Structure 1
Amino acid sequence: MSTIDIAVVDYGMGNLRSVSKALEHVATTKNVVVTSKPEDVAKASRVVFPGQGAMPDCIRELDARGLRGAVLEAAQNKPFLGICIGLQMLFEQSEEGNAAGLGLFKGGVKRFAHADMVDSQGEKLKVPHMGWNQVYQCQHAEAKAHALWQGIEDGARFYYVHSYYVQPADESIIEGYSDYPKRFTCAIAKDNLFAVQFHPEKSANAGLQLLSNFVNWSPS
């Protein structure tokens, strides 16, 4: 039985090739496997949970492949990185289709409000939020910045494509935020888990640095 260093969870919702290629680029000695098999997720040393698409479709396809249990177990027991919908699905409920999430964290997923979204020059902002935006790292009292921010400048730009954002009930898990135009959470962390709204695999050097940090991360 071959070793799986990093499992990229495939539940039929896209963007897997760019994620796996970026991981292979920063982890040349690791076995990176894109898989839809719960047993592969269970035996992998690390798990990446990406995704694009509508929340109700993502949850349905995850369950259709029998992956819910394996993903939840990985999210609580091994280094785990959620990306985009892979962040949103960790929460209780989404306004997108009034869909129930996996419920690992309390809180919901909200849609950007069109009516009051204007930039500093008064220009109306578009939804979805698409393109590059600055990410500001959170430093909690008496604690250093999270290990996955190592080597990444505070305010570095990352690439986004989304119409919804997470709103955690517990603010202590928030590790990063962006403004569009108001502040929204773009990164969370707890124990062995880190999850982001932006796409590190599409975010040039800063994104590759974050993925490299994840590959070498040893949660305490």
Structure 2
Amino acid sequence: MNIAIIDYGAGNIKNVQFAVKRLGYEAVLTNNEDFIRTADKVIFPGVGEASSAMNKLLDTGLDKVIPTLTQPVLGICLGMQLMCKHTEEGNTKGLGIFDVEVFKFKGEEKVPQIGWNQIEALEGALFKAIKEKEFMYLVHSYYAPLCKETIAKTFYGDWYSTALHKNNFYGVQFHPEKSSTAGEAILNNFLKI
């Protein structure tokens, strides 16, 4: 199986590559359009600031490539947020795959949310054999509200989407590569979709 991890200079993508390797697969870090288009699975990770990350996608033309992919695609953290139509962070236009806007936490909770939190209302193949209220590791200041594409939610001052799904596109706000055995099980589920 050919697995592409999109390399656009946003965040610690090596952890994702190591997690895939622990599952018995090899993944290629790449920004090569041909490889990405022909891969069996594509992982779109991201850590960092939205507008600078989007500028890197624009510079490489990947902003046009990602929304047209037809194989299963998994956005992680900032990757998921960039798959939405807009984010307040840097007033950034997203890829528009998910029809939802991303907002900054504005409650009394500590921002960024850093640490373990529970995911609930799990739907679909991504969460096969994952228990309700499983703990996942999160680091973020911005969130996608609940919407028609929500397949998992988390409470942090209010409910928000911790996973989204539309057609062949999946997004998770948490870091499966840092979320112990349950996180790796979710990655494994994605690789089997």
TM-score tier (shorter): over 0.9
Aligned twin of 2:101: 108
Larger CA deviation: 101-110 vs 7-16:
101-110
1:73 matched residue in structure 2: 68
- CA distance in 2 between counterparts of 1:93 and 1:80 reads 19
For structure 2, list consecutive stretches of 5 or more residues without a partner in the other structure.
none
* Equivalent position of 1:90 in the other structure: 83
After TM superposition, the score normalised by the length of structure 2 is: 0.95
Q: Deviations over 1:47-94 (max 9, x none)?
A: 0000011110110011112212221122xx111111001110111111
Q: State the match for 1:173 in structure 2.
A: 149
Aligned letter for 1:109?
V
Aligned residues of 2:98 and 2:166 also touching (Cα < 8 A): no
Instruction: Name which one, 1 or 2, has greater alpha-carbon Rg.
Output: 1
**Cα deviations across residues 178-197 of structure 1 (Å, max 9, x unaligned)?**
11121111101122221100
Aligned residues: 193
For structure 1, the residue ranges without an aligned partner over 5 or more in a row are: 118-124, 139-144
TM-score calculated relative to the size of structure 1: 0.84
Check if 1:158 corresponds to 2:142.
no
Q: Which amino acid aligns with 2:77?
A: C
**Percent of residue pairs identical:** 36
* 1:154-175 C-alpha deviation (Å, 9 max, x unpaired): 100000000000136xx32110
Q: For 1:179 and 1:167, how far apart are their aligned partners in 2? A: 11
Cα distance between partner residues in 1 of 2:100 and 2:148:
13
Q: State the one-letter code of the partner of 1:196.
A: V
Residue equivalent to 2:165: 189
**What is the Cα-based RMSD across aligned positions, in Å?**
1.3
Q: Whole-Å Cα distance in 2 between the matches of residues 105 and 209 of structure 1?
A: 24
